[in-house]
Every structure is written in C-alpha cells, then in structure tokens.
C-alpha cells in the first residue's frame, strides 16, 4: 500500500522527468540544424579553405621538375647570356624570381575553391580573345606576332588562350553533360569558341599552339561524350583547311621551309634554315648513354641558337645522356598521370574535366617539344614546361598546377 501511495504521490514529477530530456533533445536538434545551415551558407560563399589537404605527391613532383628545370636552364644559358648580355646569370636570375613568384601563386591558388572558376570561365575567354587581337598589332618578332609588349615586360597571348580553352570547355561540358550527344549543346557552343580562336592563332601565325588547342579541345569533347562521327568530320575540315592555306596562300610559307628542313636537315641547299635542328641532333648524339656531364655541353657555346628556349632538351640530352633524359621524361609522365588520377576522382564533372585538361596540356607540350628537338616532327617553336626560359609562361603554368592541387583537396584520392 505504501509503495502504491508513494508511486502515485508524484505522478507529475515522474512524467516531468521523462519529458524534460525530450525537450532538451529537440532544442539541441533545432540548434544543430541552424548551426549546420549557417555553416552551409558560410561554406557556399567561402573562397579559400584548407579542406582535406593538397596532394603531396603531385606537389613534390612539380617541385622536383621545377628544380631540375632551373639547374638545366642555367647550364644551357650561361654561355649565351654572357655573350649577348655580358652577364652569365642574366636568364637564371629572372627565371628564379618568376619561379618563386609562381610557387607562391600556386600555393595560394591551391587554397582557392576551384568551383568559383565557373564564374570566371567566360570572362577569361573574353580576355583571351582580346589578347589574341591585340597581339596582331604588336611588332613582329621573327616574322610572327605572338608577344604582347608592355614596356620591358612581354608575354605570349597564347599562354592565356590554352587555359581559357580548358576552363571554358570544362565549364560548358559540366553544365550540358547529359546533352552532349546533341548538336546544339555538344557541338555548336564549342565551335563558336574554337573557330575564332584558331583563326586568330593562324593570323599570328602560331601552328604549335593551334595543334595544342585542337588536341585539348578534341580530348575534352571526347571525354564529355561527343559522338565519334563529329571528330571524323572535324578532322576532314581541318586537314582541308591546312592544305588550302599551305598550297594557295602565303600565310604558312615559313612553315614550308621548316617542313623541307624536317625532311632533310643535312641538305646543304637549306643549310641555314636547318641550323638549329641540325645542332640539336649533334647535341643529342654527342650525349650518348651517360652524357658529357652537367655543364659540359659543347653545342650551347653559340652553336645551338638560344639554347635556353625551345631546344633546351637537346642540352639536357647532351649533358645528362639518354639515362638522364629518360628520368626527366618519366618524371613528366608521373606528373601527368598523378594529375589525371586526381582529376578522375574529383567529386564533380567540372573538377574532373578541368584537372584532366590542365594535366593533359603539360603532357602535350612535353611530347611536342621533344618531338621537335629530336626532329620527329617539323620545328613548331614550342617550349618545354618548367625548363624553357619564360617568366610569365612559368607563372601561368604554376598557377594552373595550383588549380589541380585545389581539385586534389576535395578529390577522393590518397594524398600520400
């Protein structure tokens, strides 16, 4: 009886004891919902964030290649720098400063949330078109219009163009991914971008950049899901246009000489035109298996014109030999492979396409440069990434690698 009285004496208290935690839980849940929504809003508008951390293997590969590139640039350039400018450190001083600036920009860009680049795709493309027009009114250098000159500062407009193509294509393909098999969404927008770009590059003229842009565009469209028949049609049109320009116009007369030199670089009748290619082959041949040793190149002593630029890989082969050259090629291959691996595991199509495009650009330039240096293809005047002299191109390249590192911060890949 007493137990019953006691239990019934405090009904409201026992009820209250059961309900009080439920009220606290509901209140806590409500606070958590508001906190999560607040964080979501902040995250949505957050421009810089650490997220999961950048991919260290990719970062270390960049730094190793960059350091080797700076060492080889100094070795290849000091003789020419002393002869022309009276200062053996002329080229390496500028390149080292731009390298430090580029590394800082790369790290900063890696913290930048790449999703915000959606908003910059069309403005960057507009700037690219503007620069390609401006460069046509600049003074010609070696019979071509490629450099925008601002006082003592100059840069190639095509460096911006390559990034603009990759960015704009990644932006549009990611938006229209499910409709890429149609002409309206899978072909027309990219023709509107690509045709004026190629025409402006042809007016410079800049054949090597045309090749890179076409290959990058084709690769990204193929990944985006464009049907194969459109590539066959495009290839037929491009080949027809090139044949027309070469046969019926004088726009690519300089390229005709290069093709003749490519077919027979040791022909005495075109001895002057093939001087660069011929000395490049001499350098590669004299390097042998192990090379002459770092700094011991002979061809850089005013035999190979401007060895610090497009033909720097010939000096690499001469000083480091076949084994050293293969190691550098393997490092580039690992860099491209790691960049594509990061991109394939990105959490969105925009990140995947953007990272693949930027990584593929490095790979294409390396392949084309080495092909030119070894006379596998005609001389097209294309630089070797991280090695060839050019401050602005190095900074832009490192900034692009920063974008890949930004993608790696959200990519579902083991960072190492």
Token pair recorded at residue 390? 């050019």
Task: Classify residue 140: in a domain, yes or no.
Answer: yes
User: Quick one: 11 and 137 in the same domain?
Assistant: no
pLDDT at 101: 97
Q: Give me the sign of the Cα torsion angle 81, 310, 265, 249.
A: negative
Asked if residue 359 and residue 223 are part of one domain, the reply reads yes
- The reply to whether 6 and 97 lie within a common domain is no
> Is 302 part of a structural domain of the chain?
yes
Average pLDDT, the chain: 84
What pLDDT, on the 0 to 100 scale, is given for residue 50?
Answer: 58
Residue 35 forms part of a structural domain: yes
pLDDT tens digits, 125-178: 999 999 999 999 888 777 788 888 877 777 888 899 999 999 999 999 999 988
98 — phi, psi (to 5°)? -65, -30
> Model confidence at 353, in pLDDT bands (50, 70, 90)?
very high
Determine how many CB atoms are found less than 10 A away from the CB of residue 77.
25
Residues 175 and 93 in one domain: yes
Q: Are residues 249 and 393 in the same domain?
A: yes
> Does residue 299 belong to any structural domain of this protein?
yes
pLDDT tens, residue by residue, 197-249: 999 998 888 888 998 999 999 999 999 888 888 888 888 887 887 777 666 66
Distance CA 96, CA 116 (A): 30
> Last residue of some domain: 45, 60, 80?
45
Residue 162 · residue 209 · CB < 8 Å: yes
| pLDDT, mean of residues 16-41 | 46
CA neighbours within 13 Å on the CB side: how many for 37?
A: 6
Question: Does one domain contain both 306 and 372?
Answer: yes
Q: Which residues contact 303 (CB under 8 A, 6 or more apart)?
A: 279, 282
Does residue 21 sit in the same domain as residue 145? no
Is 150 found in the same domain as 4?
A: no
Instruction: Kindly state whether residues 151 and 12 are assigned to the same domain.
Output: no
Please give the residue range of the domain that contains residue 358: 52-408
Which residues, other chains included, contact 95 with Cβ-Cβ below 8 Å and sequence gap of 6+? Answer: 70, 73, 389, 391, 394
Q: What is the pLDDT, as a whole number, of residue 160? A: 93
CA separation, residue 9 to residues 12, 13, 15, 18, 69 (Å) = 9, 9, 12, 16, 87
pLDDT tens readout for residues 376-411: 988 887 899 999 999 889 999 999 999 999 999 988
Residue 36's alpha-carbon distances to 40, 41, 44, 138, in angstroms, are 6, 9, 12, 55
* 70 and 39 in a common domain: no
Same structural domain for residues 72 and 32? no
Per-residue pLDDT tens over the stretch 368-378: 999 999 999 88
Q: What phi, psi does 112 have (nearest 5°)?
A: -75, 130
Report yes or no on 416 lying in a domain: no
Tell me: do 369 and 232 sit in the same domain: yes
Evaluate if residue 40 carries a pLDDT over 50.
no
**Average pLDDT, stretch 181-185?**
88
| Domain-located, residue 413 | no
How many structural domains is the chain composed of?
A: 2
């Amino acid at each position: 009886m007493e137990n019953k009285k006691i239990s019934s004496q405090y009904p409201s208290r026992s009820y209250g004891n059961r309900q009080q935690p439920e009220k606290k839980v509901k209140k806590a849940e409500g606070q958590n919902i508001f906190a999560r929504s607040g964080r979501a809003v902040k995250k949505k508008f957050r421009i810089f964030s650490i997220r999961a951390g950048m991919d260290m293997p990719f970062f270390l590969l960049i730094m190793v290649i960059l350091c080797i590139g700076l060492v080889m640039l100094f070795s290849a350039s000091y003789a020419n720098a002393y002869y022309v400018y009276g200062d053996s450190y002329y080229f390496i001083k500028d390149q080292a400063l731009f390298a430090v600036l580029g590394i800082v920009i790369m790290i900063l860009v890696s913290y930048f949330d790449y999703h915000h680049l959606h908003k910059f795709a069309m403005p960057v493309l507009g700037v690219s078109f503007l620069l390609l027009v401006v460069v046509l009114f600049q003074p010609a250098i070696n019979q071509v219009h490629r450099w925008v000159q601002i006082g003592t500062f100059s840069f190639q407009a095509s460096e911006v163009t390559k990034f603009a193509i990759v960015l704009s294509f990644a932006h549009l393909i990611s938006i229209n991914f499910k409709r890429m098999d149609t002409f309206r969404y899978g072909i027309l927008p990219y023709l509107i971008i690509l045709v004026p770009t190629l025409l402006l590059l042809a007016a410079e003229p800049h054949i090597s950049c045309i090749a890179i842009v076409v290959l990058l565009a084709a690769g990204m469209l193929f990944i985006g899901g464009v049907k194969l028949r459109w590539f066959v049609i495009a290839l037929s049109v491009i080949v027809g246009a090139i044949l027309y320009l070469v046969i019926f116009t004088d726009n690519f007369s300089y390229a005709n000489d290069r093709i003749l030199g490519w077919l027979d670089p040791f022909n005495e009748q075109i001895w002057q035109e093939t001087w660069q290619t011929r000395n490049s082959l001499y350098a590669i041949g004299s390097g042998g298996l192990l090379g002459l040793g770092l700094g011991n190149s002979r061809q850089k002593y005013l035999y190979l014109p401007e060895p610090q630029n497009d033909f720097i890989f010939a000096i690499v082969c001469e000083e480091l030999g076949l084994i050293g050259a293969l190691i550098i090629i393997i490092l580039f291959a690992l860099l491209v492979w790691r960049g594509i691996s990061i991109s394939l595991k990105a959490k969105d199509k925009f990140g995947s396409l953007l990272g693949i495009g930027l990584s593929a650009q490095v790979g294409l330039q390396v392949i084309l440069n080495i092909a030119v240096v070894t006379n596998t293809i005609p001389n097209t005047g294309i630089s070797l990434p991280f090695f060839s002299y050019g401050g602005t191109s190095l900074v832009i390249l490192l900034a692009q690698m920063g974008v890949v590192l930004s993608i790696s911060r959200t990519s579902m890949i083991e960072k190492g």
